[in-house]
Amino acid sequence: MVVKLKFEPKGVGHAGDEFYLQVMENRCVGCASVERLVRFSIVPHVFRSQLPARFKEHSSHDIVLLCHACYVPASEASQAMRSRLLMECSIAECNGLDVNARRFHIDDKKMQARGAASALRHPHLPHDVRLAKEAVVREFLGIPDDVELTPDDVEAARTMDPKVAVDGYVPPDVTCITRLRLSEESAEGDAGEVMEQRVFEFVLGWRLCLLESVKPRFLPNGWDAQRSIRKHDDLFGPGVEGIAAAGRIPEGSDSNSTNNINNNTKHDVSR
């Protein structure tokens, strides 16, 4: 039976793309182990989510499987790179002098009431101390002296969270993306090619971080650190000069120089 479409497809899908057309194996890309595998985002989600929409779509190219043993060095290297980026952008992860640098602050009254409620759980608490602790809980919960303080009231005060979200808090990772001019808003006015080149170099840095920390020997066929950050369908349009888009050599480029780039960053499971 032959099925004929009566509409024009939106794109070519993954036609001709070796990476996406292969059958992926459930094994660690570092050592080929099949035990305790976890999905590892080469570009941390908190960073990728801030990139322009056309570059932050789900891409399995930048998500790999790692076993626990290989995950540890990959995660440590990723954290080190994150810290380095924040430092280069003069961003402190937590600065006690800047309320906007802290995600939460501690409500002193909640802490006092929670401490008093915890003390009330002790059965041998002296009577006068118990009354004082009950007064603290009553005041916080707004319970009059002539109303019984129930065990549920005490438990509610004991288990409440004393942290309060800080208004205007901006995660350091988001600030970092803004200062690097990698978000749509921060790069307003930049030419599309300039923005794409900047985002590509950012993503490339994370891919190289994985290669250097894990030295993976079992990456899928067609995995390429130089792969374009565009959607597959966009790879057939004009690209950023100097970028080998998913192994396709842009018209007019030097095929020898492009092959040299790809040979240094492509990985084959057959090695």
Please provide the DSSP assignment of 182-215 as one string.
-STTTTTTS-HHHHHHHHHHHHHHHHHHHHHHH-
pLDDT, one tens digit for every residue, the chain (271 residues): 777 666 555 544 454 556 565 667 899 999 999 999 999 999 999 999 898 888 876 577 889 999 999 999 999 999 999 999 999 999 876 544 444 446 777 889 999 999 999 999 998 999 999 999 999 999 999 999 889 999 999 999 999 998 887 777 788 899 999 999 998 887 676 767 888 899 999 999 999 999 999 999 999 887 889 887 876 545 544 334 433 443 433 333 343 333 333 344 444 433 3
Token digits for 62? Answer: 């930048």
pLDDT of residue 229: 81
User: Cα separation of 229 and 33, whole Å?
Assistant: 28
pLDDT at 104: 78
Give residues with Cβ within 8 angstroms of 257, minimum separation 6: none
Amino acid code (one letter) for 107: D
User: Which residue type sits at 249?
Assistant: I
Q: Kindly provide the residue ranges of all beta strands, DSSP E only, lying in 42-187, ordered along the sequence.
A: 63-66, 104-106, 163-165
Phi, psi of 181 (to 5 degrees): 60, 50
pLDDT of 231 reads 62
> What is the per-residue pLDDT for 2?
72
Write down the pLDDT at residue 20. 60
d(CA 156, CA 159): 5
Tokens of 161: 């969270």
